[in-house]
Amino acid sequence: MPAFDVDRLHDLLDAVPVGRWVRYADLASAVGTAGQGLGSHFKACTECEHVWRVLHGQGRLSSDFVRNHPTDRRTQLEALADDGIRFRDGLADPSQQISVAELVAVADREPDPTDLLRMTPVRREQRRLRRQLLGDATDAACFLCGRVLPVELLVAAHIVPRHRVDEAQRRDPEAVFPACVLGCDALFELGYIGVDEAGRVTRLGTAPSAAVAVAVDALHGREVPGLTPGRARRFAEHRTPDDTH
Ligand SMILES: [Zn+2]
Ligand SMILES: [Zn+2]
């Protein structure tokens, strides 16, 4: 991976609205790389949003557009057409181009109620935490069940529920752990399982159904890797019921 500001790239890409396109070179220089560096990043990255909105030169399509997405199989032209981008003589409408200055303004704007509805700040925070936890790995182990999974199936799970902690804690990598979405994340978040002081997954409360009890039993007693004091303290807090809600 080239050394450039990947988080910044993701923020700027997020900010490209429907019906607008941005130049490769502009975006690349804004994050400290060249157009080529961006191209190879797009092919490898699963977190870049709407990469089809990035065009060459004065609005040319990529000759080798590849989108790293499990279900979206549209070509770049199809995706742009869905966005309402108009083409003439092989070039996208210049009036639909967005400058990097505009993108920066959108990306750095204070969140407004619309953003909160769209969950953009939460998604951005989740992306940063995942990067801190998992780096550029393609596979990693779930902290609770230990299964090694593609990182798309792992999230940065908050130990203490997100709404109970302040901004600084939300960004602390010690406050999160990698949890799989094949069950562990939900079982933990709903409080059916926790991690005890000995660093073992433990049953909490009563499972609401036999099927949930089976899932909990499969994890109960499993030793988690590397329980740091920071995490241990928070797991203790997670085991205490939330009486503020
Ligand atoms: Zn990316
Ligand atoms: Zn798991």
- Average per-residue pLDDT for the chain: 87
Among the residues of the chain, which ranges form H helices? 6-14, 24-31, 35-44, 76-83, 100-108, 113-118, 120-134, 167-170, 184-189, 210-219, 229-239
CA of 132 to the centre of ligand 2 (A): 19
Q: What residues pack around ion ligand 1 (CB closer than 5 A)?
A: 45, 47-48
Question: In this predicted model, which residue has the larger pLDDT, 87 or 166?
Answer: 87
Mean per-residue pLDDT, 175-191:
94
Q: What is the pLDDT of residues 195-207, one digit of tens each?
A: 999 999 999 988 8
Contact assessment for residue 37 and residue 69, using Cβ atoms and an 8 Å cutoff: no
CA of 16 to the centre of ligand 2 (A): 34
Helix pair angle (6-14, 100-108), 10° resolution: 90
Q: Which ligand is nearest to the CA of 39?
A: 1
Q: Which ligand is nearest to the CA of 27?
A: 1
The C-alpha atoms of residue 195 and residue 203 are separated, in whole angstroms, by 9
One-letter amino acid of 35: G
CA of 19 to the centre of ligand 1 (A): 21
Q: What is the pLDDT of residue 147?
A: 97
pLDDT band at residue 110 using 50, 70 and 90 as cut-offs: low
CA of 30 to the centre of ligand 2 (A): 38
The C-alpha atoms of residue 217 and residue 203 are separated, in whole angstroms, by 8
Q: What is the pLDDT of residues 228-237, one digit of tens each?
A: 999 999 999 9
pLDDT band at residue 45 using 50, 70 and 90 as cut-offs: confident
Q: Which ligand is nearest to the CA of 224?
A: 2
Q: What is the pLDDT of residues 2-34, one digit of tens each?
A: 578 888 999 899 889 899 999 999 999 999 988
**Domain 6-109: assigned CATH number:** 1.10.10.10
CA of 117 to the centre of ligand 2 (A): 28
pLDDT band at residue 214 using 50, 70 and 90 as cut-offs: very high
Q: Which ligand is nearest to the CA of 43?
A: 1
One-letter amino acid of 127: R
Contact assessment for residue 2 and residue 38, using Cβ atoms and an 8 Å cutoff: no
Structure-token pair, residue 193? 């399982």
Q: Where are the domains of the chain?
A: 6-109, 118-239
